[in-house]
Chain A
Amino acid sequence: MITTPLILDQIRRHGEATYPEECCGFLLGTADEDNQATALHQVPNRQEDRRTHRYTITPADYRNADEAARARGLDIVGMYHSHPDHPAQPSATDLAEATFPGYTYVIVSVTSGTATDLTAWTLAPDRSAFLQESITTEASAATR
């Protein structure tokens, strides 16, 4: 995926803010050969319990995010969540709950409250595994 240093910083800060629970949110931008994320849409972790190990985004949150994206002429191009005290690798749960190939799934590892590794993944077309994506950063337009 292509994004900006600010977006990556925002994801890390979100993960630190919700530590030791997982954070989650949407990547907004444009979908081309590479997903380009130019904005974030944070959402609350709707998981009832075990928010330190699980995250859930409701359809209502998806619809709000989709509306927010369209209002800015953008699309939902992926999701992000944090792994508190766990590597930035997709877990078995991540794979089991994966949605459509083509979304970029960003995972940030937060160790003892400090964001460390940040990785990006996409679901293989046959849904058998997550494939790692490169992350390219470039400065871009105004963000708020």
Chain B
Amino acid sequence: MATPTPSAPPALSTAEVQRYGRHLTLPKVGKAGQEKLKASSVLIVGAGGLGSPAAMYLAAAGIGRIGLVDFDTVETSNLQRQLLHGTSDVGRPKLASARDRLKDLNPHVEVVLHETRLTSENALGIVEGYDIVADGTDNFPARYLINDACVLTGTPNAYASIFRFEGQVSVFATPEGPCYRCAYPEPPPPGLVPSCAEGGVLGILPGLVGTLQATEVIKMLLGIGDPLIGRLLLIDTLPMTFRTLKIRQNPDCPVCGDHPTQTELIDYEAFCGLPPENGTDDTMHNVPETTVTALHARREAGTSPFVLDVRKPREAEIAALGADQLIPVDELPDRLDELKATKDDEIVIHCRSGARSAKATQLLLDHGYTDVKNLAGGILAWSEEIDSSVPQY
């Protein structure tokens, strides 16, 4: 249903005619096009960097119903790029500030809030209520889940992703084109691609890429132009180049191929080689832990254990708690011989949140280090509970 054709498009009110004047005079849109937009619905997954410009422009453009899926609260570090949310929204649910912003932009738009994580259990039910999906998520399990849900429900997926200075945009899961799995049959190994928090991202980038994504949504809904079906747009902002790669539909694609082998949603965390979402904590609990309070007390008493930071050097420039040594977690297996602590020393490992350091803790234990503990909560907890002058990022 690339171009929904409602039986009787809703008429525009006088207020809407005034508001959408520049669309009404625009060739290929006009009154019929604007009525199509009013009759349309878009599901935006993620009210973050990409979802912000996409939701704001789609609301301003007069999409009839916009659904938002998110379950996070606004953090200060979001504000550099997530313009749906303002400084006074820090601590609020992202959906709350998003609704306020969108309703202010355009009260004619119905905003539906899905205050949940998209899962294999709820994705089909949520996606099938919309004409088109805009994937603004930041992780691979979510992208495969959204792709498969879109293919299974016949809902086109305007896809975008960002990484540091680069972005990608395409339109997947249309009847005539490939799906995300045709382009990326296999997820990258876990940990290979850092998240925004670890890898950093240019704040402007999601603004650029999310508006391209919204442009594709509008084109699809209106049935105009050439959407990025079968084409992957690659954006690199440093040389400022835009390239498109052709992507063909894979006849052997397990989801959209000629003989699909996967006809329902699966466990996407497992597919991407990650521990299950609710099992992440278990993994961290499986390694010995200590708390920021305990570490702080030991330091005050002058009996500090050896502290190893496993973040990237750039992260340590932003915020540090005075570690004895820094070795990034992905380099740790090859650099164990550089570790200044011995196998009998007491070692505490930290990162930003405690996730990477849990992996590092396990690694050292596996290599015969006897007294290794993960610092629960990492830099974030240190900033929260011990020293607020250490910035959270």
> Do any CB atoms of chain A lie under 8 A from CB atoms of chain B in the complex?
yes
Chain A residues proximal to chain B, CB less than 8 Å: 4-6, 9-10, 13, 139-144
* Nearest B-chain residue to A38, judged by Cβ: B115
Q: Is there contact, CB below 8 Å, between B114 and A9?
A: no
Chain B residues, CB < 8 A from A144: 110-113
Cβ B110 vs Cβ A142 within 8 A: no
Which A-B residue pairs are the 5 nearest by beta carbons? A9-B96, A5-B93, A139-B71, A139-B116, A139-B115
Cα distance A97–B67 in the bound complex, in angstroms: 40
- Apart from the given pairs A6-B113, A9-B92, 18 other A-B contacts in the complex at a CB distance below 8 Å: A4-B115, A5-B115, A6-B93, A6-B95, A6-B96, A6-B115, A9-B93, A13-B96, A13-B100, A139-B71, A139-B115, A140-B115, A141-B115, A142-B112, A142-B114, A143-B113, A144-B111, A144-B113
Distance of B70 from chain A, by nearest CB (Å): 9
Q: How far is the CB of A12 from chain B (nearest CB, A)?
A: 8
Query: Are B92 and A139 closer than 8 Å at their CB atoms?
Result: no
CA distance A10 to B96 in the complex (A): 8
Would you give the shortest CB distance from B86 to chain A, in whole angstroms? Answer: 14
Q: How far is the CB of A126 from chain B (nearest CB, A)?
A: 37
Secondary structure type dominating chain A contacts: mixed
| C-alpha gap A10/B100 in the complex (Å) | 11
Interface size class of B (residues with CB under 8 A): 10 to 19
CB distance from B196 to the nearest CB of A (A): 21
Q: Does B117 sit at the interface, judged by CB under 8 A?
A: yes
Q: Per a CB cutoff under 8 Å, which of B92, B93, B113 touches A142?
A: B113
Q: Is B73 an interface residue (CB 8 A)?
A: yes
Cα–Cα distance between A13 and B113 once the two chains are bound (Å): 17
CA of A29 to CA of B70 in the docked complex: distance in angstroms?
Answer: 21
Which A residues are CB-close (under 8 A) to B116?
Answer: 139-141
A9 CA to B100 CA, complexed, in Å? 11
Interfacial chain A residues near B92, Cβ < 8 Å: 5, 9
Contact across chains for B111 and A143 when beta carbons are under 8 A apart: no
Chain B, 98-136, CB within 8 A of any chain A CB: 100, 110-117, 126
* Chain A residues whose CB sits within 8 angstroms of the CB of B114 once the complex forms: 141-142
Q: When chains A and B are docked, how far (Å) is the Cα of A120 from the Cα of B73?
A: 22
Instruction: Return the chain A residue nearest B67 by Cβ.
Output: A142
> Could you say which residues of chain B place their CB within 8 Å of the CB of A13?
96, 100
Cα separation A10 to B92 with both chains bound (whole Å): 10
A5 touches B113 (CB 8 A): no
In the complex, what's the smallest C-beta–C-beta distance from B109 to chain A, in angstroms?
12
A39 to chain B, nearest CB (A): 11
How far is B69's CA from A141's CA once the two chains are assembled, in angstroms? 10
CA distance A36 to B126 in the complex (A): 22
Question: Could you name 12 residue pairs across A and B whose Cβ atoms are closer than 8 Å?
Answer: A4-B115, A5-B92, A5-B93, A5-B115, A9-B92, A9-B93, A9-B96, A139-B115, A141-B114, A142-B67, A142-B113, A143-B113
The interface residues of chain B lying within 8 Å CB-to-CB of A4 are: 93, 115
Closest Cβ–Cβ distance, residue A114 to chain B (whole Å): 9
Task: For A9, list chain B residues within 8 Å (CB).
Answer: 92-93, 96
Closest Cβ neighbor of B89 among chain A residues: A9
Question: Which residue of chain B has the shortest Cβ distance to A143 in the bound complex?
Answer: B113
Contacts of A143 in B (CB 8 A): 113, 115
